[in-house]
């Protein structure tokens, strides 16, 4: 089985390399409410392909969050597709619906991802759940495909790894992860600057949003949770649809292995994010609600009022935790 897996991976790498070499104008896309890995992956691949003489187009339906505009190549990210393209590459998306509504039904030529819940929606799929970030997959295999990684590309790839591992804190960080990060540093990436800019630095509006959301903090014997309401976002002056990395704060609360964030969206929808520092695989819970992710971090978007979604999700998560022998969701 392992031999077959290695052969499948090598075949996918070779097919992707051939597609990339033959493309003149690739379209590179990722998921809605983009995180650091999604952003680092599309910008990094865009920089690498541009250096190879291609004319890549980078698309995020929600556009680029302001806090990532310090990255080289960030000005190339658009929330519309205007130019023609000859190849479509989806990065860090567990399924094609995560791309958003603007490109609904788009045929995906290449799917590169690390989510365990990926449904292999591309013509060519390179999916490695054991990797800590999609940016790590790209950084590891692009040189093997014959594409050079310069200082700027190394920086955005390292940022992607840093954000998805919360500064090398997640359980999927391996010696290989650190060796790859060292390689990116040797290529010119500034680890300390990237750490501060992507994990520590926050805008005034994001800080206000944290305070408002944490005022809703609640707990039971199994987990902690809180909520970002539309009114919180408005009062804080926070224009993004994301959670301003509040999930990282929740997951650090001592004594609880699971945290849940309810992020109210326009149109009667609620984004739910689970984090687990325990034996509970929260990707299994997210899948029940049509979402996905990783065992320690997963999410789903539900339709309904905030109160309705909270009641359903808290009850189902509680039931799930209680099925695990001797588990109370604690560390």
Query: 205-263, pLDDT tens digit by residue?
Result: 999 999 999 999 999 998 999 999 999 999 999 988 889 889 989 988 998 989 999 99
pLDDT at 331: 31
Which secondary structure element, helix H or strand E, spans residue 46, and what is its range?
helix 36-51
Question: What are the structure tokens assigned to 28, written together?
Answer: 């590179």
CA dihedral 198, 16, 300, 103 (to 10 degrees): 100
Identify whether 17 is part of a domain: yes
pTM: 0.86
Identify whether residues 69 and 208 lie together within a single domain. Answer: no
Identify whether residues 107 and 191 lie together within a single domain. Answer: yes
Identify whether residues 106 and 139 lie together within a single domain. Answer: yes
Average pLDDT, the chain: 93
Identify whether residues 73 and 177 lie together within a single domain. Answer: yes
> Which of 179, 199, 219 marks a domain boundary?
199
Identify whether 329 is part of a domain: no
- Domain count for the chain, please give it: 2
Query: Can you tell me whether residue 271 is helix, strand or coil?
Result: strand
pLDDT at 304: 96
| Domain span at 265 | 204-322
Instruction: Give me the residues paired with residue 136 across strands.
Output: none
User: Tokens 């984090």 — which residue?
Assistant: 275
Identify whether residues 148 and 266 lie together within a single domain. Answer: no
Question: 116 near 134, Cβ under 8 Å?
Answer: no
pLDDT at 329: 41
Phi, psi of 277 (to 5 degrees): -110, 15
> Which of 199, 230, 263 marks a domain boundary?
199
Query: Can you tell me whether residue 280 is helix, strand or coil?
Result: coil
The enclosing domain of 283 has a CATH number of: 3.10.310.30
Identify whether 262 is part of a domain: yes
Q: How many angstroms separate the CA atoms of 202 and 49, rounded?
A: 31
Q: How many angstroms separate the CA atoms of 103 and 301, rounded?
A: 18
Identify whether 330 is part of a domain: no
pLDDT at 328: 42
Identify whether residues 136 and 225 lie together within a single domain. Answer: no
Identify whether residues 48 and 169 lie together within a single domain. Answer: yes
Identify whether 68 is part of a domain: yes
pLDDT at 119: 92
Which residue numbers in the chain have pLDDT < 50?
1, 326-331
Identify whether 328 is part of a domain: no
> Which of 170, 199, 228 marks a domain boundary?
199
Q: Please calculate the CA angle 71-82-146 and round it to the nearest 5 degrees.
A: 55
User: Tokens 């689970």 — which residue?
Assistant: 274
């Amino acid at each position: 089985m392992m031999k077959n897996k290695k052969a499948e991976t090598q075949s996918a790498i070779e097919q992707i390399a051939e597609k990339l070499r033959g493309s003149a104008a690739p379209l590179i896309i990722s998921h809605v409410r983009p995180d650091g890995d999604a952003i680092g992956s599309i910008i990094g691949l865009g920089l690498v392909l541009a250096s190879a003489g291609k004319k890549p187009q980078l698309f995020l339906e929600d556009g680029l969050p302001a806090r990532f505009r310090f990255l080289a190549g960030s000005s190339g990210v658009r929330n519309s597709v205007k130019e023609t393209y000859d190849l479509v590459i989806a990065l860090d998306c567990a399924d094609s619906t995560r791309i958003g509504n603007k490109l609904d039904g788009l045929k995906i030529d290449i799917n590169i991802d690390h989510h365990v819940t990926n449904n292999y929606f591309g013509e060519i799929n390179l999916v490695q759940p054991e990797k800590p970030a999609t940016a790590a997959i790209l950084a590891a295999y692009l040189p093997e495909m014959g594409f050079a990684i310069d200082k700027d590309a190394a920086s955005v790839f390292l940022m992607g790894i840093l954000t998805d591992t919360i500064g090398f804190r997640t359980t999927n960080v391996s010696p290989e992860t650190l060796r790859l990060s060292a390689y990116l540093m040797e290529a010119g990436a500034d680890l300390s600057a990237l750490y501060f800019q992507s994990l520590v630095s926050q805008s005034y509006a994001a800080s206000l949003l944290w305070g408002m959301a944490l005022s809703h903090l609640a707990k039971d014997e199994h987990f902690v949770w809180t909520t970002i309401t539309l009114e919180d976002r408005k009062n804080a002056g926070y224009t993004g649809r994301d959670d301003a990395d509040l999930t990282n704060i929740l997951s650090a609360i001592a004594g609880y292995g699971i945290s849940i964030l309810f992020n109210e969206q326009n149109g009667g929808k609620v984004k739910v994010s689970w984090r687990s520092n325990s034996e509970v695989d929260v990707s299994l819970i997210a899948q029940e609600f049509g979402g996905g992710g990783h065992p320690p971090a997963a999410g789903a978007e539900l339709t309904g009022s905030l109160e309705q979604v909270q009641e359903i999700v808290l009850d189902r998560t509680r039931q799930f935790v209680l099925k695990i022998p001797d588990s109370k969701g604690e560390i």
